[in-house]
Amino acid sequence: MNLSHAYGPAQAHKDAVAFLQRAIDIGYDFLDTATIYGMGNNEKLIGEALQGRRSSFLLASKCVMGFKDGKRWLDGSPEAIRKACTASLERLRTDVIDLYYMHRPDPNVPIEESVGALADLVAQGKIRMIGLSEMSAETIKKAHAVHPISAVQSEYSLLTRNPEIAVLQACQDLGITFVPFSPVGRGFLADAPLKPDEYHESDLRRTFPRYSEPHFSQNLALLDIAKAQAKALNCTVGQLALAWCLAQDKTCVPIPGTTNLQHLEDNFAAAEISMPADVLAQLNADFAPEAVSGLRYSPPAQATVSTERYEFEMRAQ
């Protein structure tokens, strides 16, 4: 996503192509994109950059959240899902998508109908596995009853631990792989602190309470804690955040996004970091959900997901 939008202008096309090719060279073998990323341009980028290397990685994309005339829309109807898949296959220059997610739940379409359409795509050989993104444990269970769900994606990091309420357990019970997105806290969990007053006008973090003032400054004390722990383990803060994810759920597959080559290499190396039990326990205590200032989403963004929230978050809404 970062290569095409969300945290500022899209990366220059030539640089983005080289970046993706470098990722595969390093050993990355799971790439996550979506119809909505760059209004389809991110899928086109992957299709172009990695021609001839399709067998080197597992490809994931997403439907339901799409675009028309430059504007976003949400449509989980079977017809829309079929059309979105056909368009994604063309942009990605492939005949099959390994893992195809519902990007968001559509409140106007029963989850059973949407998953039924995805099951048809599996039967047709257009996708191999079905995934869900930002959905509640209850929705996951309903979907899984229609067709096996292979992966569930949701925001999960030291700063955002909502999946621990119910989604992680649901995934474990059903044998579903959990895929944490934004595992480095949308760039907050890094050695160089973010600067909210320097966010680009298109940066999504401008709309997320905990990444803007007054909450941002209040959360810097947590960043100091992470820096100290990272220093003790001789790793970067980003690597600490990823190692924490992997220690919390040893079967999860975090998908850190970056446009920085050094971070690309650092993130890959995080899998080699051993997280001592006492450090894990201390991080879990220091980064207790109620210790983080500010909600993770603005009200409009929160309305698009069905993931569980803590009681204190509900009161603060």
Q: Tens-digit pLDDT profile for the chain (317 aa)?
A: 999 989 989 999 999 999 999 999 999 999 999 999 999 999 999 999 999 999 999 999 999 998 888 788 899 999 999 999 999 999 999 999 999 999 999 999 999 999 999 999 999 999 999 999 999 999 999 999 999 999 999 999 999 999 999 999 999 999 999 999 999 999 999 999 899 999 999 999 999 999 999 999 999 999 999 999 999 999 999 999 999 999 999 999 999 999 999 999 999 999 999 999 999 999 999 999 999 999 999 999 999 999 999 999 988 86
Taking the model in full, what pTM does it have? Answer: 0.96
Please report the pLDDT score of residue 132 as a whole number: 98
Please report the pLDDT score of residue 89 as a whole number: 98
Distance separating alpha carbons of residues 167 and 147, to the nearest angstrom? 18
* Helices 237-248 & 277-286 angle (0-180, nearest 10): 100
Going through 52-176 in order, the beta strands assigned E by DSSP cover 58-63, 65-68, 71-74, 97-102, 127-133, 151-155
CATH number for the domain formed by residue range(s) 185-250+259-317? 3.20.20.100
Nearest to 183 by CA among 227, 260, 241: 241
Please report the pLDDT score of residue 215 as a whole number: 97
H/E element, 221: helix 215-233
Please report the pLDDT score of residue 138 as a whole number: 98
Distance between terminal CA atoms of the chain?
28
Sequence letter at residue 315? R
Beta strands across the sheet bearing 177-181: 30-32, 58-63, 97-102, 127-133, 151-155, 177-181
1-149 and 185-250+259-317 have identical folds:
yes
Taking the mean position of all CA atoms in its chain, how far away is CA 204? Answer: 14
Sequence spans of domains, the chain: 1-149, 185-250+259-317
DSSP 8-state secondary structure symbol assigned to residue 255: B
Give me the active site residues, please. 37
For 1-149, give the CATH class.
alpha beta
Q: Is 299 exposed, middle or buried (0-12, 13-18, 19+ CB in 10 A)?
A: exposed
Q: What angle do CA 145, 84, 298 make, to 5 degrees?
A: 75
Please report the pLDDT score of residue 67 as a whole number: 86
Kindly report the length of the chain: 317
Cβ atoms of 91 and 61 closer than 8 Å:
no
